């Protein structure tokens, strides 16, 4: 706050503050500075006992086990009143204290009763006065520092890089709630600072895996041996031709299978690529989910922190509002719970009642606190230590009883004219000594009134005393009245109407669903009540009535809560269409044909027999012819080697 604002505020405080009432110097505490040091702001004292003869009082701090004895000097004893003591009693708040001072003050009010009740003393008597000191609240600085650090933390977090419209679902709602909380807090802070200015308190702030392949080699050795005949040779050739054809077909199928394998490998590689891309998308979605979760956690903790800060500001604002309300009520001299609570007031008055037994207007009990509060008046001022000082007054009364009378002039008919007696005072206290009052007394209950001492009238009241004592007007002076028309006037003190009818007037009375018409002429007192209604010139004459109030309670309040649900996460996967893959697979034969050669023993016997026959024939022929000729002829006619196939045996 700049210097001009400070100067303006100080001028405003000086203009609006009330001058404190003078406190007499005949009662004080010796060595006050030393005593004030013992009154720690966190240790309030309570009177333990007093000794009027030795003029001492024992003070017991709330947070200590020792007693402090203070000396009281120059005690003035008023007439017919006990000694007075300046004491300290605790009040609400760790930084406020209440000091009750019984001095020789003259009261601002006196107590009277109607019919039955207590009256104030006829002489001077003391009253109780209380001082309440409220100091500046230090939690405001703590709340501001906490709020500033929270905003700084929010700026440094990931939340500041996001906008509310970029968030989705519950996070967007929470971000908007964070903004609203900040607005609430700023609004509350502004109201708090304004109220601090009003009450005069200033605040300057603001692993890698390897894979090995071992190839296996299988060898199948197949051999077929044996001698075959011509038919077997043809059959063998046919079999070989068939094998040759099947071999060509098998080569074609192997080529087709290789193509299929290439397609499978290619599709497998495509599938692996799709899985890789899908894994990347899954990782991205998981990262987005993690970011959303982090934002949710940050917003949750931020909302909780802002809510606590808002509650702290509301508590401080409530306290400052109590200060403001206390000043407003103090300016009207009305006690209010913002100044001191009923419980604390009762505790303080109980200590005063121990010194003034049977001198309270009403019995000091908790059931009578509403009546006692009506008797209490308050005044306040600002101190130089930035404190608000409240002075609370309570009247002390004596035992004699008075009856309060209200005198009202009613015309009377004297032949040919109207006249009446006009009293010098309207209110009279009737007792052993009658006293007149210039102004009305303050009603406390139905039969209890409180009158001020300075309102006592000192005129000669012979006429009024004659009326009250003997109910005659021999010592009174009549005054002629000039009445030319009918009149009807309301008397609130008597809850009646006075009617002066020069001429006849008709009144309509409704009672129990029946109507009565009355014609009146003269002077009458009319008192309507709830059992009947009186109408004069079509207007109802209404008396004072009592009605019962009904508190208004909030009804049909619907509070609905739903659990928050997170937004579903969608993962887009690429489809792997294996159905479109070519199915030209090699189909092996269902039945396998095996060709085997079985050796028949009869064939072997026939072959050996034929070979033996040929051998024997050749030997016999060689014997019949010469050797050279036989040899030449044999070479010319017979082949050198005759192959024979059959049964797997070859003969030469």
Question: Three-class SS string for 198-210?
Answer: HHCCCCCCCCCCC
Domain span at residue 630 reads 599-652
H helix intervals, 413-527: 462-470
Find the mean pLDDT for residues 553-573.
65
Q: Is the pLDDT of residue 540 over 80?
A: yes
Tell me the pLDDT tens digit for each residue of 17-53.
444 444 333 333 333 333 333 333 333 333 334 444 4
Going by pLDDT thresholds of 50, 70 and 90, the confidence category of residue 138 is low
Q: Into how many domains does the chain fold?
A: 4
Mark whether 379 and 470 lie in a shared domain.
no
Helix (H) or strand (E) holding 366: none
Q: So what's the pLDDT on residue 67?
A: 39
Select from 332, 360, 393 the last residue of a domain. Answer: 393
Find the mean pLDDT for residues 226-234.
59
Mark whether 432 and 374 lie in a shared domain.
no
Q: Is the pLDDT of residue 513 over 60?
A: yes
Q: For residue 262, tell me if it sits in a domain.
A: no
In whole angstroms, give the CA distance from residue 580 to residue 515: 107
Tokens at residue 61, please? 């701090």
On whether the CB atoms of residues 143 and 316 are closer than 8 A, the answer is yes
Q: So what's the pLDDT on residue 230?
A: 64
Mark whether 366 and 411 lie in a shared domain.
no
Q: For residue 273, tell me if it sits in a domain.
A: no
Mark whether 16 and 127 lie in a shared domain.
yes
Q: So what's the pLDDT on residue 282?
A: 86
Tell me the pLDDT tens digit for each residue of 248-285.
787 778 877 788 788 888 888 888 888 888 888 888 88
Q: Is the pLDDT of residue 530 over 60?
A: yes
Find the mean pLDDT for residues 155-162.
62
In whole angstroms, give the CA distance from residue 381 to residue 109: 22
Q: Is the pLDDT of residue 572 over 80?
A: no
Mark whether 124 and 15 lie in a shared domain.
yes
Pairing of strands 442-445, 448-451: antiparallel
Cβ neighbour number for residue 549 with a 10 Å cutoff: 5
Q: So what's the pLDDT on residue 220?
A: 32
Nearest to 313 by CA among 145, 140, 179, 178: 140
What is the 3-class SS of 562-588, one letter each residue?
Answer: CCCCCCCCCCCCCCCCHHHCCCCCCCC
Going by pLDDT thresholds of 50, 70 and 90, the confidence category of residue 241 is confident
Nearest to 71 by CA among 59, 63, 83: 59
On whether the CB atoms of residues 125 and 396 are closer than 8 A, the answer is yes
Q: For residue 362, tell me if it sits in a domain.
A: yes
Q: So what's the pLDDT on residue 578?
A: 54
Between residues 539 and 9, the one the model is more confident about: 539
Our CA angle for 40, 43, 49, nearest 5°, is: 110
In whole angstroms, give the CA distance from residue 557 to residue 549: 23
Mark whether 13 and 119 lie in a shared domain.
yes
Mark whether 81 and 130 lie in a shared domain.
yes
Locate tokens 């002066």: which residue?
A: 500
Q: So what's the pLDDT on residue 626?
A: 57
Residue 111, strand partner residues: 450
In whole angstroms, give the CA distance from residue 342 to residue 371: 12
Find the mean pLDDT for residues 420-431.
85
Q: For residue 604, tell me if it sits in a domain.
A: yes
Residues 6+ positions from 141 with CB-CB distance below 8 Å: 203, 205
Q: How far is CA 133 from CA 70, 381, 384, 389, 491, in A?
A: 21, 10, 12, 5, 46
Q: So what's the pLDDT on residue 191?
A: 79
Q: Is the pLDDT of residue 481 over 70?
A: yes
Our CA angle for 333, 371, 99, nearest 5°, is: 55
Mark whether 478 and 489 lie in a shared domain.
no
- The helix/strand/coil state of 577 is coil
Q: So what's the pLDDT on residue 158?
A: 61
Going by pLDDT thresholds of 50, 70 and 90, the confidence category of residue 625 is low
Residue 480, strand partner residues: 419
Tell me the pLDDT tens digit for each residue of 275-329.
888 888 888 888 888 887 887 788 788 888 888 888 888 888 888 888 888 888 8
């Amino acid at each position: 706050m700049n210097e001009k604002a400070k100067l303006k505020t100080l001028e405003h405080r000086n203009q609006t503050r009330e001058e404190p009432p003078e406190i007499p110097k005949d009662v004080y505490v010796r060595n006050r500075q030393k005593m004030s040091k013992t009154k720690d702001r966190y240790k309030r004292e309570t009177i333990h006992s007093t000794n009027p003869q030795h003029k001492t009082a024992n003070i017991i701090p709330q947070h200590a086990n020792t007693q402090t004895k203070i000396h009281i000097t120059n005690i003035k004893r008023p007439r017919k009143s006990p000694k007075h003591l300046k004491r300290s009693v605790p009040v609400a708040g760790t930084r406020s204290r209440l000091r009750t001072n019984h001095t020789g003050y003259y009261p601002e009010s006196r107590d009277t009763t109607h019919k039955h009740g207590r009256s104030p003393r006829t002489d001077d008597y003391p009253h109780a006065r209380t001082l309440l000191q409220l100091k500046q609240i230090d939690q405001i600085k703590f709340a501001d520092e906490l709020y500033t650090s929270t905003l700084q933390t929010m700026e440094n977090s990931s939340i500041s890089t996001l906008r509310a419209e970029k968030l989705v679902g519950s996070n967007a709602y929470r971000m908007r709630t964070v903004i609203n909380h900040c607005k609430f807090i700023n609004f509350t802070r502004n109201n708090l600072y304004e109220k601090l200015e009003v009450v005069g308190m200033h605040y300057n702030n603001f692993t890698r895996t390897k894979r090995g392949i071992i190839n296996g080699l299988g060898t199948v050795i197949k051999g077929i041996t044996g001698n075959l005949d011509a038919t077997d040779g043809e059959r063998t050739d046919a079999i070989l031709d068939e094998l040759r054809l099947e071999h060509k077909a098998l080569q074609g199928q192997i080529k087709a299978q290789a193509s299929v394998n290439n397609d499978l490998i290619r599709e497998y590689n495509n599938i692996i690529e799709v899985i890789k891309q899908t894994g990347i998308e899954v990782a991205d979605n998981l990262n987005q989910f993690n970011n959303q979760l982090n934002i949710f956690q940050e917003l949750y903790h931020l909302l909780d922190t802002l809510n606590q800060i808002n509650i702290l500001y509301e508590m401080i604002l409530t306290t400052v509002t109590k200060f403001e309300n206390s000043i407003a009520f103090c300016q009207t001299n009305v006690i209010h719970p913002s100044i001191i609570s009923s419980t604390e007031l009762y505790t303080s008055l109980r200590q005063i009642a121990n010194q003034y037994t049977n001198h309270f207007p009403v019995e000091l009990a908790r059931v009578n606190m509403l009546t006692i509060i009506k008797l209490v008046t308050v005044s306040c001022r600002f101190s130089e230590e930035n404190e608000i000082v409240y002075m609370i007054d309570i009247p002390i009364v004596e035992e004699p009883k008075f009856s309060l009378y209200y005198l009202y002039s009613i015309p009377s008919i004297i032949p040919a004219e109207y006249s009446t007696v006009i009293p010098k005072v309207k209110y009279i206290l009737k007792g052993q000594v009658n006293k007149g009052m210039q102004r009305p007394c303050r009603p406390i209950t139905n039969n209890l009134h409180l009158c001020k001492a300075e309102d006592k009238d000192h005129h000669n009241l012979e006429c009024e005393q004659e009326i009250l004592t003997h109910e005659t007007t021999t010592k009174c002076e009549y005054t002629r009245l000039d009445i030319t028309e009918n009149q009807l006037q309301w008397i609130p003190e008597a809850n009646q109407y006075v009617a002066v009818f020069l001429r006849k007037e008709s009144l309509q009375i409704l009672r129990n669903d029946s109507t009565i018409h009355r014609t009146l002429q003269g002077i009458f007192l009319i008192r309507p009540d709830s059992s009947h209604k009186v109408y004069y010139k079509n207007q109802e004459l209404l008396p004072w009535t009592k009605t019962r109030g009904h508190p208004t309670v909030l009804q049909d309040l619907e509070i609905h809560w739903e659990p928050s649900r997170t937004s579903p996460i969608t993962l887009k996967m690429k489809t792997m269409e294996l159905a479109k893959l070519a199915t030209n697979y090699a189909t092996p034969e269902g039945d396998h044909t095996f060709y085997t050669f079985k050796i028949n023993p009869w064939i072997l016997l026939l072959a050996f027999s034929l070979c033996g026959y040929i051998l024997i024939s050749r030997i016999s022929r060689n014997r019949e012819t010469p050797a050279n000729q036989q040899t030449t002829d044999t070479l010319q006619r017979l082949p050198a080697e005759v192959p024979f196939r059959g049964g797997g045996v070859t003969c030469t």
